[in-house]
Amino acid sequence: MVPVVALVGRPNVGKSTLFNRLTRTRDALVADFPGLTRDRKYGQAKLGEHEFIVIDTGGIDGTEEGVETKMAEQSLAAIDEADVVLFMVDGRAGLTPSDIAISNHLRKIEKPSMLVVNKVDGIDADAASADFWQLGVENMYQIAAAHGRGVGALIDRALNPFAEKMAEEAQGEIEDLTEFVDEEEEKLDYTEEEAEEEFKRLQDQPIKLAIIGRPNVGKSTLTNRILGEERVVVYDMPGTTRDSIYIPMERDGREYVLIDTAGVRRRKRINETVEKFSVVKTLKAVEDANVVLLVIDARENISDQDLSLLGFALNAGRSIVLAVNKWDGLDMDVKEHVKKELDRRLGFVDFARIHFISALHGTGVGHLFESVQEAYKSATTRVGTSVLTRIMKMATDDHQPPLVRGRRVKLKYAHAGGYNPPIVVIHGNQVNELPDSYKRYLMNYYRKSLEIMGTPIRIQFQSSDNPFEGKSNKMTMSQERKRKRLMSMMKNRKK
C-alpha cells in the first residue's frame, strides 16, 4: 500500500511550500466534503524511489487548549490516516508556544513523527535550530522547502522503513497485476501462442474492483446491491486492511476482489449507517485496483472532485468504468441534459463505458460487470511484437510521420512494454521529435486496431542509436585494406 505523510505545524512554517514541491503541482485534491476540513489538501507525490500520498493539514495556532480543539477539527483525522507525521517549524522565527503545544499533542499519539526545521537557507542552520532541542526530540531535520534543499534526504529517512516493510510483505504475495512487467519480461519477444498463454493466466487472477465516488452518490447502496444478488457468492475473509475492506466474491464464474472504501454494512443496518468519505482511502483503493468503478450522481452536476478522481485513476493507469446512479425518475429532458454534460466534460476518458443505473432498484447493475471484464481484458492482453509492428506500419502508411528539420521521422518496430495499462514501445529515429498530435494519432490507431476499451493505453518512444556514432575507426584494418584495393582497381579501370 502507498504510505501517507501528513504535514503538521502552525501557520506560515512552509507546509504548503513543501506540499507543492513534493506533489510538483498546485492542483492537488482538495477535501471539501461534509465531515472533512476544507483546508486539508491531498496530493500524490513521487520523489526518488518513493511514491506516497501527502496531506497538508493547514495551520494550527493558539494556546495549548486551542491546539487540542483545532487539532481535533482540522488535523486529527489526517494524522490518523497518516503513516508518518512531519512536524514543521520555522527556523527563522524560532521556538514559539504554539510549537510547544503541537509537540505535546503529537507526543500523546502513537504515530511516528519527525521534527522538520524549515527556512534554514542563508542562515546558520545549527544555531537557528538549537532552541528546538527543548522539545525533547532525538533528531531534527533541517530543510529549505522553497529551494528543495534537504527534502530528498528527509523523505528517504521518513519512508525507508515503510519501503523495507512493503518489500518484505511483497514476498510470497500474489503477483500484483497493477505493476509493470519486470525488465526481463519487457524484453521478451512474445509469439502469438505465448501471448495467448499469458492472457489466459492473467484471466485466472481475481479482478480487483474499487468502487469510488463522492459522498452520497450511492456507493454503499451499489456495494450492497452487488453483494446481495443471488448470483453473487460472498466468502468470509478474516481481517481487513487498515484503510479499506477487501471482499473476495464470485459472479458468473469469475472471481473478484471488491475494494469497498466506504465499508460493507450488514443488510439490516444499511439505512442506519451514515456514509463517510476518505480521500486517502479512495486514493489507496485506486492504486491497489485493476479496475476503478466511479459512481456519479445523475441528479447533480459533474463536480471538479469527480474530474480529480478520474484524473487520478487515469494517471495511475487504471481501467475505468463509469456508473451514473439515480437515473430512475428523471424526465427525458433532464436525461438528455445529463448526457450532453457527460460528453462535454468527460472527453478525456472517452474510452470508458458509461452505464446509467439505479443502485437502489438494481436497474443496469448487472451490465456493469460486462464492462469491468471488458476493461480488464483490454488492460491485460499481451500482444506479440509482429502484430504491434504491423499495426505501426499500417498507421504510418495511412499517415506518414512529419518531417523534422527536413528529415522524415522513421519508425522501425514496436513491442509490448507492459500491461494494466497496455504499453507499446516504438523504436525509431528522431522519435523524441514527434509532435504530440502524431503521438495521439498513433495511440488512437492502436486503440482502434486492438479494439481496446475501458483502459488507457500508453505509447513510449525509444530512439535507435547508431552503434558507430562517436567512433573514429568505423572499419577494421582488413576492411580498410580491402577498400583501398577496390578504389585502386576502380581508378585503373577508368584509365
| pLDDT for 265 beyond 70 | no
Same domain, 30 and 113: yes
Q: What is the mean pLDDT of residues 355-381?
A: 93
| pLDDT, tens digit, 9 for 90 and up, residues 154-183 | 999 999 888 776 655 544 443 443 343 344
Between 434 and 232, residue with greater pLDDT: 434
Note the pLDDT of residue 274. Answer: 38
Same domain, 357 and 427: no
Q: What is the mean pLDDT of residues 384-401?
A: 93
Same domain, 29 and 106: yes
Whether 177 is covered by a domain: the verdict is no
Q: Per the annotation, where are the binding residues for GTP?
A: 9-16, 56-60, 118-121, 213-220, 260-264, 325-328
| pLDDT, tens digit, 9 for 90 and up, residues 401-423 | 988 888 888 999 999 888 888 99
Helix, strand and coil percent figures for the chain, each rounded to 5: 40, 20, 35
Tell me, what CATH number does 217's domain have?
3.40.50.300
Same domain, 135 and 275: no
| pLDDT for 350 beyond 50 | yes
How does the average pLDDT of the chain come out, rounded?
A: 79
- pLDDT tier at 336, thresholds 50, 70, 90: very high
Whether 181 is covered by a domain: the verdict is no
Looking at beta carbons, which pairs linking 429-436 to residues 24 or more positions away fall under 8 Å?
Answer: 429/463, 429/464, 430/404, 430/463, 431/461, 431/462, 431/463, 432/461, 432/463, 433/404, 433/409, 434/401, 434/402, 434/409, 434/461, 435/402
Q: What is the mean pLDDT of residues 264-269?
A: 42
- pLDDT tier at 459, thresholds 50, 70, 90: very high
Whether 175 is covered by a domain: the verdict is no
d(CA 130, CA 177): 49
| pLDDT, tens digit, 9 for 90 and up, residues 49-107 | 888 888 887 666 655 455 545 544 556 667 777 899 999 999 999 999 989 988 988 88
Whether 176 is covered by a domain: the verdict is no
Whether 185 is covered by a domain: the verdict is no
Whether 183 is covered by a domain: the verdict is no
d(CA 385, CA 188): 9
Q: What is the mean pLDDT of residues 120-128?
A: 91
Contact criterion met (CB below 8 Å) for 349 and 314? yes
Same domain, 304 and 444: no
Note the pLDDT of residue 253. Answer: 86
pLDDT-wise least confident of 71-75, 143-147, 313-317: 71-75
**DSSP one-letter string for 42-82:** EEEEEETTEEEEEEE-----S-HHHHHHHIIIIIHHHHHH-
Hey, CA dihedral for 60, 66, 70, 72, is it positive or negative? Answer: positive
pLDDT-wise least confident of 85-99, 267-281, 313-327, 396-410: 267-281
Backbone angles phi, psi at 12, to 5 degrees: 65, 25
Same domain, 361 and 393: no
Q: How far is CA 183 from CA 196, 201, 205, 302, 419, in A?
A: 20, 19, 22, 40, 13
Range of the domain at 112: 4-170
Same domain, 348 and 226: yes
Same domain, 451 and 340: no
Same domain, 36 and 147: yes
Residue at which a domain ends, from 373, 401, 433 = 373
Report which listed range, 103-112, 239-248, 486-495, is most confident.
Answer: 103-112
- Tell me what percent of the residues of the chain surpass a pLDDT of 90: 38
Note the pLDDT of residue 379. Answer: 92
Q: What is the mean pLDDT of residues 11-31?
A: 76
Note the pLDDT of residue 474. Answer: 57
| pLDDT, tens digit, 9 for 90 and up, residues 190-213 | 455 555 566 667 777 899 999 998
Instruction: Identify which of 40, 26, 97 has the alpha carbon closest to the alpha carbon of residue 65.
Output: 97
| pLDDT for 31 beyond 90 | no
Note the pLDDT of residue 391. Answer: 95
- The total number of residues shown for the chain amounts to 495
Same domain, 39 and 138: yes
**DSSP one-letter string for 185-237:** HHH----HHHHHHHHHHHHTSPEEEEEE-STTSSHHHHHHHHHHSTTEEE---
| pLDDT for 303 beyond 70 | yes
Contact criterion met (CB below 8 Å) for 321 and 372? yes
Angle at 227 between CA 224 and CA 230, to 5 degrees: 125
Whether 300 is covered by a domain: the verdict is yes
Contact criterion met (CB below 8 Å) for 119 and 92? yes
Number of folded domains in the chain?
3
| pLDDT for 40 beyond 70 | no
Tell me, what CATH number does 415's domain have?
3.30.300.20
Q: Per the annotation, where are the binding residues?
A: 9-16, 56-60, 118-121, 213-220, 260-264, 325-328
Whether 184 is covered by a domain: the verdict is no
Same domain, 106 and 223: no
Same domain, 231 and 129: no
